[in-house]
Chain A
Amino acid sequence: MTAAPAGTATAGGAPLTAAQSGMWYAQALDPDSPAQNTAECVEIHGTLDPARFAEALHRTVGETDALRVRIEDTPAGPRQFALEIEPSGHGFPMHAADLRDQGDPDAVARAWMRDDLADPFDLATGPLFRHALFRVGERRWLWYQRVHHIVLDGFGYALVARRVAEVYSALAAGEEAGPSPFGRLAELVAEDAAYRAGEAYEKDRAHWSDTFADRPDVPTLAGRGALPSRTFLRRTSTLGTDVRDRIETLAGAVRATWPEVLIATQALYVARATGSAEVVLGLPMMGRLGSAALRIPGMVMNVLPLRLTVTPQATFAELTRQVVLGIRAARRHQRYRYEDIRRDLGLLGERRALTGPLVNVMPFDYALDFAGAPCTAHNLSAGPVDDLTVNIYDRGDGGGLRIDHDGNPALYTARELAAHQDRFLDLLDRIAAADPHAPLAVHGIATAAERHLVLTEFNDTARAVPATTLIGPVEAQAIRTPDAPALVHGDLTLSYAQLTGRANRLARHLATLGVRPGAVVAVALPRSADLVIALLAVLKAGGAYLPLDPDHPADRLVGMVEDAAPVCVLTDVAGRLPETGPPTVVLDGLDLSAHLDITPPRALTPRHPAYVIYTSGSTGRPKGVVVPHAAIDNRLRWMQAAYPLTAGDRVLQKTPAGFDVSVWEFFWPLREGATLVVAEPGGHKDPAYLARTIREQAVTTCHFVPSMLQVFLAEPDAARCTGLRRVFCSGEALARETAQDFARVLPGVPLHNLYGPTEAAVDVTYHACRPGEDGPVPIGRPVWNTRLYVLDAALQPCPPGIPGELYLAGPQLATAYLGRPGLTATRFVADPYGAPGTRMYRTGDLARWTADGEVEYLGRTDHQVKLRGLRIELGEIEAALAAAPAVTGACVLVREDRPGDQRLVGYVTAAHPAPAPDPEELRTRLAATLPDYMVPGAVLVLDDFPLSPNGKLDRGALPAPTAVTGDRAPRTHQEETLARLFADALGLPSVGVDDGFFDLGGTSLLAARLVARVRDALGTDLTIGTLFQAPTPAALATKLGAGTGSADDALGVLLPLRPHGDRTPLFVLHPAGGISWCYSGLLAHLDAHQPVHGLQARGLVHDEPLPATLEEMAADYAGQLRRVQPHGPYRLLGWSVGGVLAHTVAVLLQEAGERVELLAMLDAYPSDQWRDQAVPGETDALTALLRMAGFDRTDELTREDVLGTLQREGSALAGLSERTLSAVVDIVVNNARLMRAHHHRVFDGEVLFFTAAAPRAEDWLTHEAWTPYVSGALRAHEIDCLHPQMTQAPHLDTIAAVLAARLKELDG
């Protein structure tokens, strides 16, 4: 076969059509990919003459010039060149085989086809098609054809097959086949060019740009995108003729065609499976109507987006109408390319899809025969699959419809693909049998088997429980074990008898005030034994307790008291709360001796409320959730059965009482004879305190919100909490990494993930984490008597794997929102799947079932967020912001600009021309009414809110806050180190010494990381608690006791950069200016147990004579370092002049008989190299001073200018006094003089050397110059920076890494 210069594709070749271009680029991206192979297999039944068949095939291919091309990239872009095709047997790409003697001829043929399909075509050489003919039986043949999609589409296949059959039949009859019906490639190319230059092109472009102007998000069944794979998964089914007939009848009834019914069904499926009312399907179109291309077997097809709105209210007839009209509109603009629409909309750059699943209906007539032998055609590959394509073949052969679901294996498993197909066919079957004028809500996408699985089998939780209350079992336990320890708080231990006795007296007092079943009592006490006694007393009197967190703003607490109208407010000291309506009972000094210590009488039933807990409310008002005894009693009975507590267990109470996790902490141990260990107020935020308490109090059981668990695990002592028998997580999504960290830090301790809203008595699902598992941690299975429903927009159950909203049902549901019947009716709604007349609670959480009956949490359906386990309605904060004067609009969101760092940010717009609101005033205002965790860390004032094209607030376009940092420079090296560590942890370029960590957006998670870094860098004992008390670098430096305010402390000859540690100390020697603070950046990268001491010049603090020789200076330093470490081996390092000093000190130590195991020099050069250079004057000294701070000197002329620069740039050196700065200049000049006069002796050993390798003026400097003065090797590392940059990040980090590795070797 040779390339022919003749034909329509002339010597220069023909350009590609727009349709071909997209495919060419896709192939060029991955030249070895077979993804664009398309293939069909035609099964021929009857007698066939293979030679005649080959002849017919060759003639047909000869008539099809669009097929006979190769495509080469030329300087003018890719072009197609004609190929001459040899006859069969002489190079025509056709394989023939008689497989009749094979055991399974069909299998052999299929295997051959599979292999062939995996073989990519070479576009540049061609040919771009291949055939095979297998004889698989006496009267059965398989004709296989594979073609690169760039030269043929599905319609073209049908044209080719029809012509081959026609020519064959003519040859068999001894007749002429008649003239070729085919048009030429040149016509396609010309038509394409004319279209693109014409008016229609512009009109079509405008149509598609208008239709998709708002660039809708496109839902897909996988919920994510991926690059096309080289292969695809396929699931094939056949729709019988009976179903097809019913679909045709339905189509007639709604004035549509059967393909439109199938497309409408797929739209319904996608809408429900993705929870999106907006669906965009892709419709491959043959693109030939009214065109010469109707006669041309070539590549013409296009994919057009069909945008549909699918709501449960609409009927199937209405949905089908949308499809009909949508396709009609698309057809009018069908020549405009899919690739061009994506480009016009700017989706290419964002790698965003234009459509969801494709529905490819191919009604191509294959009712062919080969001289009377009939055939059936099967598609083997329809081309690349980006996401999911439903191919529907109507071969016109009376065999029903074949349906292939093709999926991208990067997005779908075979099992998922099969499930999507089974459900689609099941839905189609039900739609065909249903009234097309009924709301779509009657249809669910789950099959009958799946419905049974998710509604019944997964919810098989019925368990008989006695009708008891929250408090009854506590009282029964107190009678069983009166002397057992019930409560421990610090040094105080109360037995069951003591605890219930005190609670009984108080309960009796409360009863005299009118507390009885159904009444509410507010409890405003800090965490303490009295808090527990108060809660027990309220319950014992029959009342429901309302916890008020004394740390919350008084306004908020007063609001709750007004809302709940409690009988009284219990508190520890007078004045905690402003006097409001109900009387206050102050426990401090209250004499209860008149009351009996036995259980008071009360008419309490399981239906009475046990507690009222307020949660954030979206309309700006918190709402009180009323939980009855039966609900929490069921919850605690399940918990005891699932995780049996015994008398030896000790449960930590650390959750604030206003958060419902505290309910099981308080009451579960007391119901079971275990001991309650009460943490200090505020202790729940301090991981070091918690670790200590867990160890000292032998705690066996405790709870963490996942983000706090992460913080706790970062605490070194966490690993010593081995007495734990079980740890529970709830409150927010538990990250798999956290669970894995837990298994690493506390191996063998079970970790349980629980889930539930306050509205369903703490928790309704549970999952035991197992080490080694991956993927998201499920929230698990339903607890006793609890049913979970994952429902779609029509309240139909979602099958496993399909996300929907989570609904809860069963006795754990709360009674109501206190005094909010309207709100109650919208959240606690009629249950269509429970016993008649029962309710279900709508959580607002997105979830899905796993195949084996656990639930995975996926996020929220609304604007409620969980931040560090605390439930927040953004609407409540927005309402508070909007209420401020001058604010016209408010929006609040949780940003995660750094992974794992979630923070609240508020945005407001202001009324003009009033002065813009002050963000700090707004925050202060919020803090007066909202708890701390609901006050945004930053509030930004905007001119306008960014809007999406369809006029909605574009949350994604809201700017990230930029931290405003203070400008006071560090005074000490500790401050400088801390400021840098703060900045690193916060991801900011710099942080002022007076900037608060939490003010700059620090979270407790980031705080944990910062504390670990500070511990490593400074070797000091620091807890997160310290950081809370001292949140600025300056305050923390003071707290750490090392840098008490004055820089002078850090100017002594010995500078303890990290004084403690069990490794051999590293001594770092000062550069020209005499100060060694520049080495503090090493600390974070060296082992935390590696002590580091700086040696600094004399004369920085007091007037002292400067040394007369370098030898004298080195001898002084040798004496100093021996005060720290009397004998070797020694480790020395120095930068610049410091390197020369380190060498000199090393030689002196060796001469004194000591071992020096490390001598490291940072860009230091021996005296010989400097001797002929002029001694620097004041100007050079100032340059050197700036260099010490890491700056290049530009236009600073005087000492004042230099000082100004240092202050402006926030250098630690800016804190130096005038006197010290003058001393530094003198020291620089003196050092330069001494260095030139020095004569080196030989150091015995090797040197670790770091060269500043960027090009510099002093190009004669070379580490080779040390060779005469070093007996061992010079191990040089090139650092890509200039000399002054060596002690700055990231260069110092690189140096530190090499150094750390060497130190580790030395440590053995």
Chain B
Amino acid sequence: MTPTAPFDPTESAAATHLVLADGHGDRSLWPGHIAVPAGWHTVHGPASYAACLAHAEAAGN
């Protein structure tokens, strides 16, 4: 069976993910095809998984 977990890393360059932020400075990676939960807003993307991860890493430091 092929798992399709929405947060699994992909090596694809396709713009599949977003980076969300809440009001407390938390960041969340987020799959682009799923509605953004209330209280969060997009701060980066849609972009590739790797680009989103890099953005979240940089934003937190």
- Residues on A with C-beta less than 8 A from B29 are 825-826, 829
> Could you give, for residues 3-41 of chain B, a 1 whenever the CB lies within 8 Å of some chain A CB and a 0 otherwise?
111110000000010011011101111110111111110
Q: List 29 A-B contacts (CB under 8 A).
A: A274-B1, A276-B2, A276-B4, A277-B4, A312-B4, A312-B31, A793-B3, A795-B34, A820-B57, A821-B56, A821-B57, A822-B54, A822-B56, A824-B27, A824-B60, A825-B26, A825-B57, A825-B60, A826-B53, A830-B40, A831-B37, A832-B35, A836-B40, A837-B22, A837-B38, A838-B22, A842-B7, A861-B3, A861-B5
Do the beta carbons of A830 and B53 come within 8 Å of each other? no
User: B residues within 8 A CB of A826?
Assistant: 7, 29, 53, 56
Q: Is A646 an interface residue (CB 8 A)?
A: no
Known A822-B54, A829-B29, A839-B28; judge A276-B37 contact (CB<8 A): no
CB of A836 within 8 A of CB of B1, answer no
- Residues 288-317 of A contacting B (Cβ, < 8 Å): 311-313
Nearest CB in chain A to that of B59: its residue: A821
The 4 closest A-B pairs by CB, nearest first: A821-B60, A836-B39, A837-B39, A822-B57
Which residue of the partner chain B has the closest CB to A312? Answer: B33
- Contact between B28 and A828 (Cβ–Cβ < 8 Å)? yes
Q: Give the chain A neighbours of B1 by CB distance below 8 A.
A: 217, 219, 274-278
Mark A823-856 against chain B: 1 for CB-CB distance below 8 A, else 0. 0111111111001111100100000000000000
> Within 8 Å CB of B33, what residues of A?
312-313, 439, 441
Q: A830 near B2 (CB under 8 angstroms)? A: no
- Docked Cα-Cα span, A442 to B35, in Å, equals 8
Contact check, B57 vs A830: say whether CB atoms are below 8 A apart.
Answer: no
State in angstroms the CA–CA spacing of A826 and B1 once bound together: 23
Among A794, A822, A827, chain B packs the most CB atoms within 10 A around the CB of A822
How far apart sit A278 and B4, CA to CA, in the bound complex (Å)? 10
- When A441-B33, A838-B39 are in contact, do A793 and B6 touch as well, CB less than 8 Å? yes
How far in angstroms is the closest Cβ of chain B from A46? 53
Instruction: Verify A805–B27 contact, CB threshold 8 A.
Output: no
How many angstroms from the CA of A219 to the CA of B59 in the assembled complex?
Answer: 40
Shortest C-beta distance, A121 to chain B (Å), equals 39
B39 proximity list for chain A (CB < 8 A): 830, 835-838
Q: How far is the CB of A830 from chain B (nearest CB, A)?
A: 4
Q: Which residue from A278, A441, A821, A822 sits with its C-beta under 8 Å from B34?
A: A441
The chain B residue sitting closest to A439, CB to CB, is B33
Q: Which secondary structure characterizes the binding site on chain B?
A: loop
Task: Evaluate whether A312 and B34 lie within 8 angstroms (CB atoms) in the complex, with A274-B1, A825-B29, A826-B29 already known.
Answer: yes
* Residues A774-801 near B (CB distance < 8 A): 793-795
List residues of chain A with CB within 8 A of the CB of B54: 822
CB interface residues, A 431-463, toward B, < 8 Å: 439, 441-442
How many pairs of residues, A versus B, come closer than 8 Å at their CB atoms?
107
**Chain B: minimal CB distance from A806 (Å):** 12
Are the C-beta atoms of A837 and B2 separated by less than 8 Å? Answer: no
- Cross-interface CB contact of A837 among B5, B6, B24, B57, cutoff 8 Å: B24
CA–CA, A805 and B6, complex, Å = 10
Central interface residue in B19, B28, B35, by most chain A CB within 10 Å:
B28
A820 — which chain B residues lie within 8 A by C-beta?
A: 57
Identify 14 new A-B residue pairs, CB closer than 8 A, beyond the known A821-B57, A828-B26.
A219-B1, A276-B2, A277-B2, A312-B31, A793-B5, A820-B57, A822-B54, A824-B56, A825-B29, A829-B7, A832-B34, A837-B23, A837-B38, A838-B39
Distance A1124 CA – B38 CA, assembled complex (angstroms) = 85
B5 to chain A, nearest CB (A): 6
Whole-angstrom distance between the alpha carbons of A828 and B29 in the complex? 9
Tell whether A836 pairs with B57 under 8 Å between CB atoms, given A276-B2, A312-B33, A825-B28: no
* Most chain B CB atoms below 10 A, which of A278, A442, A825, A838: A825
In contact, B7 and A830 (Cβ under 8 angstroms): no
Please give, as numbers and ranges, the residues of chain B lying within 8 Å of A821 by CB-CB distance.
Answer: 27, 56-57, 59-61
CB pair A825 B19 closer than 8 Å: yes
Complex Cα distance A441/B6, Å?
A: 10
In angstroms, Cα B30 to Cα A312, docked, is: 13
B59 to chain A, nearest CB (A): 7
A313, A829, A836, A838 interface centre (most CB from chain B within 10 Å):
A829
Q: Which residues of B contact A277 (CB under 8 A)?
A: 1-4
- Complex interface: chain A residues within 8 A of B36 (CB): 830
Partner of B53, one of A275, A795, A822, A839: A822
**List of A residues within 8 angstroms of B6 by Cβ:** 312, 793-795
The CA-CA distance from A1093 to B14 in the complex, in Å, is: 78
Q: In the bound complex, what is the Cα–Cα distance between A275 and B5 (angstroms)?
A: 9
Contacts of B26 in A (CB 8 A): 825, 828, 839
Q: What residue in chain B is nearest A824 (Cβ atoms)?
A: B60
Bound together, the chains give a CA A830 to CA B7 distance in angstroms of 12
Which of A822, A829, A835, A836 contacts B30, CB < 8 Å?
Answer: A829
CB distance from B14 to the nearest CB of A (A): 10
Residues of chain A contacted by B35 (CB below 8 angstroms): 442, 832
B28 CB to nearest chain A CB (Å): 4
Q: Which residue of B lies closest to A827 (CB)?
A: B7
Bound complex: CA A451 to CA B36 (Å): 19
CA distance A412 to B7 in the complex (A): 32
Residues of A within 8 A of B31 (CB): 312, 441, 795
Residue of A nearest to B25 (CB): A821
Nearest chain B CB to A819 CB, angstrom units:
8
Q: Given A822-B53, A837-B24, does the pair A793, B7 have CB atoms closer than 8 Å? A: no
Chain A residue, CB-CB nearest to B57: A822
Across-interface contacts of A313 in B (CB, < 8 A): 16, 33
Nearest CB of chain A from residue B27's CB, rounded to whole Å: 4
| A830 x B56 contact (CB < 8 A) | no
Contacts of B16 in A (CB 8 A): 313
B34 touching A793, Cβ below 8 Å: no
> Which residues on B sit within 8 Å (CB–CB) of A832?
34-35, 37
Q: Contact: B30 with A830, CB < 8 Å?
A: yes
Q: How far is the CA of A839 from the CA of B20 in the complex (A)?
A: 11
B residues in contact with A828, CB < 8 Å: 26, 28
The listed residue (A793, A824, A829, A830) touching B4 by CB distance below 8 A is A793
List, in ascending order, chain A residues with CB within 8 A of B61's CB.
821
> Which A residues are CB-close (under 8 A) to B56?
821-822, 824-826
What's the least CB distance linking A1241 to chain B, in Å? Answer: 77
Name which residue of chain B comes closest to A442, CB basis. B35
Q: How far is the CB of A353 from chain B (nearest CB, A)?
A: 13
Contacts A441-B34, A836-B38 given: A825-B4 contact, CB under 8 Å?
no
**Contact indicator B34/A837 (Cβ below 8 Å):** no
Which residues of A from 445 to 501 have beta carbons under 8 Å from B?
none
Q: Do residues A805 and B28 form an inter-chain contact, with CB atoms below 8 A?
A: no
| Residues of chain A contacted by B7 (CB below 8 angstroms) | 826-827, 829, 842
Cα A277 to Cα B6 with chains together (Å) = 12
Chain B's nearest CB lies how many Å from the CB of A357? 15
Chain A residues lying within 8 Å of B20, measured Cβ to Cβ, are: 830
Report Cα–Cα, A837/B24, bound state, in Å.
8
Q: In chain B, what residue has the closest Cβ to A311?
A: B4
Residue of A nearest to B60 (CB): A821
Decide if A837 touches B40 in the complex (CB within 8 Å): yes
In the bound complex, residues from chain B placing their C-beta under 8 Å from that of A794 are 6, 34
Taken together as a complex, chains A and B put the C-alpha atoms of A820 and B5 apart, in Å, by: 21
Contacts of A219 in B (CB 8 A): 1
Q: How far is the CB of B22 from chain A (nearest CB, A)?
A: 4
| CB neighbours of A805 from chain B (8 A) | 5
Docked CA distance A1105–B60 (Å): 91
Q: Which chain A residues lie closer than 8 Å to B2 at the CB level?
A: 276-278
Q: How far is the CB of A862 from chain B (nearest CB, A)?
A: 8
**Are B60 and A830 within 8 A (Cβ)?**
no
| Nearest-CB residue, chain B, relative to A794 | B34
Q: Tell me the chain A residues, 308-342 only, with Cβ under 8 Å from chain B.
A: 311-313
B36 to chain A, nearest CB (A): 7
Distance in angstroms from B34 CB to nearest chain A CB is: 5
Give the shortest distance, in Å, between A761 (CB) and chain B (any CB). Answer: 17
Q: A312-B34, A313-B33, A821-B61 are in contact. Are A829 and B28 (CB under 8 A)?
A: yes
Cβ of A501 to closest chain B Cβ, rounded Å: 38
